[in-house]
């Protein structure tokens, strides 16, 4: 029996089969193209996470960046002033629960705390069934403006397998090729060191948009201003600190009482860059007090409440949206991959923290 | 005997065809980009998935009430198996997506202030399983759709037996409708 008869075709098969192969093949090719399977040079979240994972230590089971941290819980007490600028439910006067995390911006969950020039605070505020998640750093500007530059910085920080440490010239070459990083590195070289998460100011760095009740968008960046006095230390004192001084300091302070930050939003004026996190806005921009973050309790990450949350900066309530800052989408996409990997590796980061 | 799908069935089929194919391209595109369109794609992916879930349930109900035109006997098994698989995936993919976001502790954002409730406990291992399944089943769904497309074109171009015509949205009264049986 011929193929034609088996398939029950009433006409010659050549033409129809050619069309079918063409249509199905083109559909599959379009899918493969969209997936990036033809574009090995495309910058994907997977590649960024791979690069972040090669900076030393074994971040298996952990966040691939800001890998060493500690959970906290507390409340956000909104004064109501922010409700004038945004309809976000947690900006209406009231008190809302917060699950957060302090961390240092390293790729190794066992790094000594003094290795973390950048300290961060992540928050998840819940109100009216909605969430506002945010990851903020203590630097006044971000180091780069684009995902591509961020990827290059991660590559420059990767451990050279032969040498067992990063190529010392790679970061120099990166900085020379990226003059936009100068503001960040000036801060990193000159800002005084302290021994606490509590005395740091944390900044959203990326711009967002507050949407008010009449639908008008107000470009904004937000910050957490510490209500704890900073105690600076000398480089010599820093070298004498133990590996986990930040968690110890936090627990010691919280044993005595809550820690507070005033949360403010800085509103942009027309012309202020919203798409470049390396550029600060002028100091005279209006500042709105949104409320007070009250941090009450710290818990080790292994079994703490922040462990299984992704502090994706695009998880926002109605009334707040992302801006044209290209880092926001890249952060969101990259955090998702880091989250997917560590959730799949959860057994290697047991809840009682014994792997530590 | 029914020889064609009803107008409602045909419209549901083609509407969902567009939505599901868009969904698969949005899904595979969003997980492989860090460009600003990532945020837009994710924002579309969630409500579109829920819309597909609702439409798939409507379609099954309509199919159950009205029935379908019979298929030529020689290929009934293959056609039925692929249709069962398609319906199963159309229902499973949105449910797995919804469950996965629930297990990951994510808010299930539709649009504006509208959020869906969690339908699974916040659990790391459960999330990992569902997240993996969402990708594997998406690829299986796309492969099944390609097979469905190839079979539909074969009926239209080679067999000309009315199977394709039974699902064409606008068919003139003169086109042969309904499968030639036997």
User: Which pLDDT tens digit goes with each residue over A293-303?
Assistant: 999 999 999 99
Q: Could you say which of A8, A10, A339 has the minimum Cβ distance to residue B74?
A: A8
Please report which residue ranges of chain A form alpha helices under DSSP H: 3-6, 14-35, 45-52, 147-157, 168-177, 182-190, 235-239, 245-256, 326-344
- Convert the pLDDT of each residue in B2-40 to its tens digit: 888 999 999 999 999 999 999 999 999 999 999 999 999
- Mutation to test the B interface, candidates A329, A341, A347, most B Cβ within 10 Å: A329
3-state secondary structure of A218: strand
Ranges under pLDDT 50 in chain A: 1, 355-356
Mean pLDDT, rounded, of chain A:
95
User: What's the pLDDT band for B76 if we cut at 50, 70, 90?
Assistant: confident
Give me the residue spans of the domains in chain B: 7-167
Using alpha carbons, list the distances in angstroms from residue B182 to A167, B9, B70, B174, B178: 73, 25, 11, 22, 12
Interchain CB contact of A22 with B (< 8 Å)? no
Give B182's pLDDT tier (boundaries 50, 70, 90).
very low
pLDDT tops 80 at residue B157: yes
Q: How far apart are alpha carbons A174 and A102 in whole angstroms?
A: 28
pLDDT over 90 (residue B173): no
Q: Across the interface, which of B30, B32, B113 has its CB nearest the CB of A130?
A: B113
User: Which of 271-300 (A) contact B at CB < 8 A?
Assistant: none
Banded model confidence at residue B174, pLDDT cuts 50, 70, 90: very low
| Per-residue DSSP letter, B80 | H
pLDDT score, position A243: 96
Selected from 1.10.3470, 1.20.1070, 1.10.10, 1.20.950, the CATH number assigned to the domain covering B7-167 reads 1.20.950
The predicted model scores a pTM of 0.94
- Record: contact A339-B122, CB cut-off 8 A: no
How far away is chain B from the Cα of A52, in angstroms, using its nearest Cα? 15
A84 flagged as catalytic:
no
The pLDDT assigned to A160 comes to 87
Predicted confidence (pLDDT) at residue B181 exceeds the cutoff of 90: no
In this prediction, residue A2 carries a pLDDT of 64
pLDDT, one tens digit per residue, over A226-243 is 999 999 999 899 999 999
Model confidence band, residue B74 (pLDDT cutoffs 50, 70, 90): low
């Amino acid at each position: 029996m011929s193929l034609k008869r088996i398939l029950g075709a009433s006409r010659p098969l050549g033409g129809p089969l050619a069309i079918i192969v063409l249509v199905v093949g083109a559909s599959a090719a379009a899918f493969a193209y969209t997936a990036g399977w033809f574009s090995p040079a495309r910058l994907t979240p997977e590649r960024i996470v791979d690069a972040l994972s090669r900076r030393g230590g074994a971040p298996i089971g952990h966040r691939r960046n800001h890998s060493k941290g500690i959970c906290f819980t507390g409340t956000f007490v909104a004064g109501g002033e922010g409700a004038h600028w945004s309809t976000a439910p947690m900006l209406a006067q009231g008190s809302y629960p917060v699950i957060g995390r302090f961390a240092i911006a390293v790729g190794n969950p066992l790094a000594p705390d003094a290795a973390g020039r950048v300290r961060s605070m992540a928050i998840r505020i819940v109100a009216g069934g909605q969430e506002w998640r945010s990851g903020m750093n203590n630097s006044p500007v971000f180091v780069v403006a684009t995902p591509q530059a961020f990827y290059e910085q991660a590559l420059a920080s990767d451990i050279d397998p032969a040498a067992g440490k990063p190529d010392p010239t790679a970061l120099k070459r990166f900085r020379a090729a990226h003059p936009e990083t100068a503001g960040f590195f000036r801060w990193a070289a000159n800002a005084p060191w302290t021994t606490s998460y509590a005395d740091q100011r944390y900044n959203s760095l990326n711009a967002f948009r507050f949407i008010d009740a009449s639908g008008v968008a107000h470009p904004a960046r937000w910050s957490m201003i510490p209500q704890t006095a900073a105690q600076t230390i000398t480089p010599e004192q820093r070298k004498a600190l133990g590996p986990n001084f930040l968690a110890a300091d936090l627990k010691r302070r919280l044993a005595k009482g809550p820690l507070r930050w005033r949360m403010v939003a800085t509103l942009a004026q027309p012309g202020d860059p919203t798409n470049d996190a390396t550029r600060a806005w002028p100091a005279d921009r209006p500042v709105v007090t949104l409320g007070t973050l009250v941090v009450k309790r710290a818990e080790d990450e292994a079994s703490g409440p922040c462990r299984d949350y992704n502090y994706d900066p695009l998880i926002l309530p109605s009334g707040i949206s992302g801006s044209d800052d290209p880092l926001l989408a890249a952060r969101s996409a990259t955090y998702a991959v880091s989250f997917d990997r560590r959730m799949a590796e959860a057994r290697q980061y047991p809840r009682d923290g014994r792997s530590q | 005997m029914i020889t064609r799908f009803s107008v409602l069935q045909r419209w549901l089929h083609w509407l969902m065809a567009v939505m599901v194919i868009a969904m698969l391209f949005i899904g595979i595109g969003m997980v492989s980009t860090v460009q600003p369109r990532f945020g837009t794609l994710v924002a579309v992916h969630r409500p579109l998935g829920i819309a597909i879930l609702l439409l798939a349930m409507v379609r099954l109900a309509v199919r159950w009430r009205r029935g379908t035109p019979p298929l030529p006997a020689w290929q009934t098994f293959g056609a039925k198996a692929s249709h069962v698989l398609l319906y199963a995936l159309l229902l499973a993919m949105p449910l797995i997506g919804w469950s996965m976001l629930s297990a990951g502790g994510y808010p299930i954002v539709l649009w504006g202030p509208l959020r869906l409730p969690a339908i699974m406990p916040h659990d790391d291992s459960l999330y990992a399983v569902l997240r993996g399944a969402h990708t594997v089943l998406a690829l299986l769904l796309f492969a099944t759709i390609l097979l469905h497309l190839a079979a539909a074109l074969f009926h239209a171009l080679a067999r000309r037996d009315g199977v394709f015509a039974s699902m064409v949205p606008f068919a003139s009264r003169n086109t042969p409708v309904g499968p030639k049986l036997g």
